[in-house]
Each structure stands twice: as structure tokens, then as C-alpha cells.
Structure 1
Amino acid sequence: MSKSFLALVLLDTPATPDMVALAEAIRARHPELPMEVEGGGEGSARRGSPLIRCGDELVAVMSMPAPIPEDPGLWSRASTLWPQGKAIAAQHQGHLIVSVLGQNQRPLPTARLTTAVIGALIATMPQCCGVVWNGKVARPADLWLDMSSRSFAPYPDYPCSLWVDILPFRSETGIGAVTMGLSAFAEREIQFETHKLPLGTMINKVDGLAVYLVEHGAVVKDGNTFGGDARERFTVRHKNSDQFGGLPVLFCSDGSAQ
């Protein structure tokens, strides 16, 4: 499975990053990551290059002097964890596009690297006010600055919640949660419905399965089960969601518990 992510860093005012300062910030935050700025010596040519080399990968950072396209659904989803997001999005004046270049990208390493670069951008640019991950998940800049420091942490401690949203909803029989953004790692989202579990427990179960799939990819097949122990197992079904516009999901519910 190959995947290149596209991240948009919202700016209060248009600005171009200093790539040398960005390189220094990446080295300070992630000293284990070999990297350099593409494009000549340490002078203006390097500062003007939009590319930074991290290990064997090239990351592009492009400055755009305009707001990102409007997406009401994105900001509606973001409001659960970021109530101010819609207002900030309405006021921002520029953005940065950040993406790892090349073919046959592996999702998790690509997400880790992109996240590390974005965290360093936020650390060096006070204009940064938010991040939109792959068109699906919006989070505030201060949360990204904090959580991106764990970009290369071992499973399960990397910042999965920057890449995957978990959205609660009311179902016909109780409550549910659906993910947004997981399909980039595992080909499908999760839709979990329950009439037995409290909200917090349900969210924890969805989060645990989501992080597992971010780590391992599309390994859960139709009819597989998951759960904490033999007394509490949920059967997973591959289907197109009846509630979310035919979204391909891994569907789980109390009614399929074994």
C-alpha cells in the first residue's frame, strides 16, 4: 500500500519559512532523524529552497498566500475538540502545503515524517494557527506543537489523534462512533455502535483498534474479532455505512458480540 499525505498549515498572515531555521528545529526536536536542506550552500539558495531532505525522503514545504478552500464539513467535525477552529479558519490569510515526495510511500513512516516537519514549522513560525491533515482532520497549532514531539515514538505512543478523528453519534439503539482519516492507513474507517457501553469506554475501544490499524494496516478481515479478552469480543464486518453516505467501514456492534 502506498500513500502520500497532504497537510495544510494555516497561517494568520502569509509567510515563507526559513528552511535553515526549520532544519535546525527538526534537528533539535528529533536528533535521531538525519536531514539537510536541498539546494546548495548555507546561504540564500538554501533558504529559498522549498525542499528538505530527511533521511532518504524529500519533504516539500510550499507557501501559499491565500486561505485554504472552504470545507464546512471539516470544521463541523473539528468543533468537538476545537470549538474555535471554524472562526480561526475564517480569519487565516495564508497556508503552507507540506508533503513527502515520491512514489510507494508507506503510510505510517510518511505520517511520522510529515508530522515531525510540521511540528518544527510551528516551532519556528508564530504565524501558524492550525493544521488540516489530509483534508480530514483539523487541529490547533499548539496541540500539534506538543503532540508532534512524539512523531517517532514507538507503538502505540505516536500522535495518532492528529491523523484520525473519532466522532461520536447517536444510533438507533444507543450511541456510536465513526473514524475519519483511518482509511488512509487501513483502507476503511471504523463504525462502532453500542447499547451497552458508556461513551468513554466506546471511544477507548475505537481508539485502540484505530491505533492498531495505523500500525499494522488493513489486517482486519471480514468476520475477524477484536476485544480486550475472550469474554468481550466484537465481530468486524466489512460494509458500506448506511449512516455515512456509503463510507467503506469496519462495522462493529454489541449485537455482534461473541
Structure 2
Amino acid sequence: MGFLRKKSVDVEAPKPRRNVGLAMVTLDRARPLPEGALLAFLQDNWKDLPRPTEVNHEGDTLSFELGGAIVTLTLMRVPIPWGDLEGPARAAWHWPEAKERLMVHLGHVIVAVLAPGMDRVSTMLLLTRVVAAVAATADASGVYWGEGPVVNAPEDFVEEARRTSRERLPLYLWLAFQLVRNPDGTFTLCTSGMKSFELMELEWVACRTKPAELVDRAFNFAHYLLDHGPVLKDGDSIGLSAQERFRVRHLPSVVEPSRTVYRIDV
């Protein structure tokens, strides 16, 4: 996906940030973390990862260093408040059983990755793999990615995480693609979660594009921005091919007018 037609090549440098990734795994049973199985899962599924060092397991907290990052897993013997999960569960068109499975969870694991030496995408990739290891080896009932916010079934999260790479980012795990059918039969799509990467959200308003095609297009545009940074200026054109052009505008969000988004004209 290239063919970016720009009015300007000036790109603002991102502001420094404390590079922390955070996600949660809901549990059917709040049992101690399976340290051996969890660390083995990481090694068996991602051969490019170094071996964890400085492993420390005290009480309900497991921590270790992994590729220059500090990973901390904390078992919480209480559920995540339903008020945090209700909206993402209701919006989880990809997981019809979300509400049924999440409402009855009894505990959760907070997964935190502190990676001051990594860029944001690499940090989130590492977090995704650690979360998958928890989801695959603990009594998981779901994964809550609060930056979206978005929820996924543990088995779906693990399957998608296994296929991820820098070239194939797991955006369906990181971002919410909120699709609404308008009274006139058109569709509006808004992303949520791009702000975690210091990028504006994407919006398509009142489009007659088929929903599946619209979601796929949003995925590709979001992937482009995560690959290249905030390079889309107001008035630029972008397309998936040399023949396809879509105009990009910086406009107030139709969901939250106080913030500016990338509005894509189709």
C-alpha cells in the first residue's frame, strides 16, 4: 500500500513517552500463574525471542526480563469491573459469546511490558506474545485490550498472535473497528486505539461500501500509518493502487467532536 500523494513532506517528531504496554486476561478460575508452561510457550512459539532472564515469582506476581523489556504478570483474584467490559463485549461482532463468557469470570491477570528501548509497535508485538502465552496456559476466558478497547476470545487471540510479525500486525487484536449502519442504509466506521500509537483515529462517514470491504480498508490504512507514522496531511490522497485515490481530511470526529481524526472520503 503506497501511492501516497502529499502536499508536504514535513512530519512532526513524536513526543517522548514512557513506553508501557498493558493488557488483561480474564480467568474462569483465579489459580496461580503456570510459570513453567507460560515461559515454555513463549520459547516454543517465537524462536526469535531471547530466553527470559531475571525470572522472579513471588506470590501472585511473576516478572522477568525479555529482550531488554521488563515483563510483569500480576494475578488479581477479583474480576474486572463489568462497567469496563460491557461496552467492548457489546461491540464484539467478531465474538458473539463475549458477554456470556466475560460476565462470569472470577479473576484476571494484568500483563505489563515496560520497554524503554523499543519503539511502540515492537512493544505492542511483545505484549501480544506475552498475553497469548497467558491466554494459552492459564484458565483464560477472554482477553481485554484496554487501549482499543477491544475484547477477544482467548483461542482467537492466541491463533492470531502466532501469525504476527512486524510486516503483519495484529490490528484486530489492538484496535476496535466500530461499524454503524445509518438510517439511509450507509455505513460509518470509526477506529479506536490508534491513539496508543500517537496517531489520530480513522473515520469513514456515510459510505455505501460493503461492511466487510470497509473494515478491510480501515485495517490496511491503519497498518500503513503504524508502518510509516503520522505522514498523512490534511488534503493528501492515498490509495491501494496507482488507480485508486481517496482524499484524507483532518476533521472533528463524528463520535467525539472535540478530537481531530483522519476522515477518508470515498
CA distance in 2, matches of 1:221, 1:146: 36
Counterpart pick for 2:122 among 109, 118, 123: 109
For 2:192, the equivalent position in structure 1 comes to 180
Whole-angstrom CA distance in 2 between matches of 1:159 and 1:121:
17
TM-score, normalised relative to structure 2 = 0.83
Instruction: Give distance in 2, aligned partners of 1:57 and 1:181.
Output: 22
Aligned to 1:36: 52
Question: Is there any run of 5+ residues in structure 2 with no aligned partner, and where?
Answer: 1-13
Task: Say whether residues 1:100 and 2:113 are aligned partners.
Answer: yes
Q: What value does the CA root-mean-square deviation take over the aligned residues?
A: 2.3
Q: Any conservation in 2 of the 1:185–1:213 contact (CA below 8 Å)?
A: no
Deviation for aligned residue 1:5: 2.3
Does the 8 Å CA contact 1:38/1:53 hold for their aligned counterparts?
A: yes
Q: How many residues align?
A: 246
Residue in structure 2 matching 1:214, options 193, 209, 226? 226
So what's the TM-score if we normalise by structure 1? 0.86
**98-107 or 66-75: bigger deviation:** 98-107
State the alpha-carbon separation in 2 of the partners of residues 60 and 230 from structure 1. Answer: 46
Q: For 1:5 and 1:134, locate their aligned partners in 2 and report how far apart those are by CA, in whole Å.
A: 10
Between the aligned partners of 1:221 and 1:208, the Cα distance in structure 2 is 18
Q: For residues 232 and 194 of structure 1, do their structure 2 counterparts lie closer, same or farther at Cα, with a shift above 3 Å needed?
A: farther
Q: Which amino acid aligns with 1:99?
A: A
- Between the aligned partners of 1:104 and 1:249, the Cα distance in structure 2 is 29
Provide, for residues 170-209 of structure 1, a one-character-per-residue CA deviation record: whole Å limited to 9, x for no partner: 3476222111212212421110135442222222211110
- The secondary structure found in structure 1 opposite 2:235 is coil
- Structure having greater relative contact order (Cα 8 Å, sep ≥ 6): 2
Note the residue ranges of structure 1 that are not aligned, 5 or more in a row. Answer: none
Q: Secondary structure of 1:118's match?
A: helix
Identical-pair percentage: 28
Q: 1:49 & 1:25 partners in 2: Cα distance?
A: 18
Question: Are 2:31 and 1:15 aligned?
Answer: yes
Alignment of 1:165-244 (within 5 A): 165-171=176-182, 174-244=186-256
Q: Determine the C-alpha separation between the residues in 1 that align with 2:55 and 2:210.
A: 54
Instruction: Letter of the 2:51 partner, please give it.
Output: M
Report the equivalent of 2:156.
143
Find the aligned partners of 2:37 and 2:253 in 1 and give their Cα distance. 46
CA drift of 1:103 comes to 4.2
SS in 1 for 2:72: strand
Provide the rounded CA distance (Å) in 2 between the counterparts of 1:48 and 1:87: 27
Q: Per-residue deviation at 1:132?
A: 0.6
Once residues 48 and 39 of structure 1 are traced to their aligned partners in structure 2, the CA distance between those partners, rounded to angstroms, is 14
Runs ≥4 in structure 1, deviation > 4 angstroms? 45-49, 102-105
| Structure whose residues are more often helix by fraction | 1
Task: Tell me by how many angstroms 1:93 deviates.
Answer: 0.4
Aligned residue for 2:152, secondary structure, equals strand
Query: Taking structure 1 as reference, are residues 245 and 74 closer, same or farther at Cα in structure 2, changes over 3 Å only?
Result: farther
Residue 234 and residue 172 in structure 1: after superposition, are their counterparts in 2 closer, same or farther (change >3 A)?
Answer: farther
Do residues 86 (structure 1) and 99 (structure 2) align? yes
User: Which residue pairs with 1:56 in the alignment?
Assistant: 68
C-alpha change, 1:243 and 1:158, in structure 2 (3 Å) is: closer
